[in-house]
Amino acid sequence: MTQMTMIAAIQNAHDLAMARDENVVVFGEDVGYFGGVFRCTAGLQQKYGSSRCFDAPISELGIVGAGIGMAAYGLKPVVEVQFADYMYPAYDQIVSEAARLRYRSGGEFTCPIVVRMPTGGGIWGGQTHSQSPEALFTHVAGLKTVIPSNPQDAKGLLLAAIADPDPVIFLEPKRLYNGPFDGHHDRPVRPWKTHPLGEVDPGYYEVPLGKAAVVRAGQELSIVTYGTMVHVAIAAAEETGIDAEVIDLRTLIPLDTETVMASVQKTGRCLVLHEATLTSGFGAELAAQIQAECFYHLEAPVLRVAGWDTPYPHAQEWAYFPGPDRVGRNMLKLMEA
């Protein structure tokens, strides 16, 4: 095992995939010579050449559109959109072309493209560098949506995404790039080298898409979450003393309903947690499915905790961010219901 940050784990996944398959190509804004704004592709151009890892113009539509064309012709493009907030010009290409290609062609063409995007807040990025748009992708038939919470999963999930024959949206919580974050912004930063999930197998392995992880076992309450909020949920459980089970979805679509429902049926209470805005967030879909499948096991209605329905405020970052205090208060409320 090797100590890795999430950045290093993602870079390592690129490296291994490119070494195994010459059809894997990597490109986007600044990903070639510079190695990406977060350095997730550092060294790849030097190792594999500028025909397999290269810079693209500042055009998200063009980056994704070119990648779709490459995928249709048999390549396996892994493209980076510099921030998830910038993906909107490419959204038509993702929805109308990448997600529909297999269906429209009757299976004659597939679109094995991975679109990587740093997502979420907690870095003082303000409204244009902090968005969490995962629900815009989970709503689209034909896309898989992945959000890792640690270096071990990030590497294995990215390798699985690259191997997948269909389009995968790979959202990387940028607050987790260099260390776990439990929402206590006023405490010293913790590096991944102090966390067990910062120990990463340097070889090739895949984490299956569509399989959640129980990262904290419990009997009194289930917290269903993903990304940065996994660490916030664990902190809230420890600070409240509630015996909460924390489910890290890892993949939103396909959704591991078996693991989620088994947990909720055991505990009888469920809190759904995400950083994205509340209204029409992916948590609404989770809550609806849990309510329908676990109705006779529930001791209280499913509760959602999420970002507020407002643009991400720069000056009020921590009032918006669902931290462990807000999560803890809602856990206590749920236990009293």
Enzyme catalytic residues: 129
Give the total residue count for the chain: 337
How far apart (Å, rounded) are the C-alpha atoms in residues 294 and 35?
A: 46
Burial grade of 75 (CB within 10 A; 0-12, 13-18, 19 or more): middle
Written as six digits, the tokens of 106 are 């009757």
Give me the amino acid identity at 222. Answer: S
DSSP-derived 3-state class of residue 154: helix
- Helices and strands (DSSP H and E) totals, the chain: 12, 14
Give me the amino acid identity at 133. Answer: P
> 259-287 in b/e burial notation, b at 16+ Cβ within 10 A?
bbbbbbbebebbbbbbbbbeeebbbbbbb
DSSP-derived 3-state class of residue 292: helix
**Helix boundaries (H) for the chain:** 6-20, 44-48, 60-72, 91-92, 101-104, 134-138, 151-163, 229-240, 257-267, 282-293, 317-320, 324-336
Residue whose pair of structure tokens reads 């289930």 in the numeric block: 222
Burial grade of 58 (CB within 10 A; 0-12, 13-18, 19 or more): exposed
Report yes or no: 88 and 131 within 8 Å, Cβ to Cβ: no
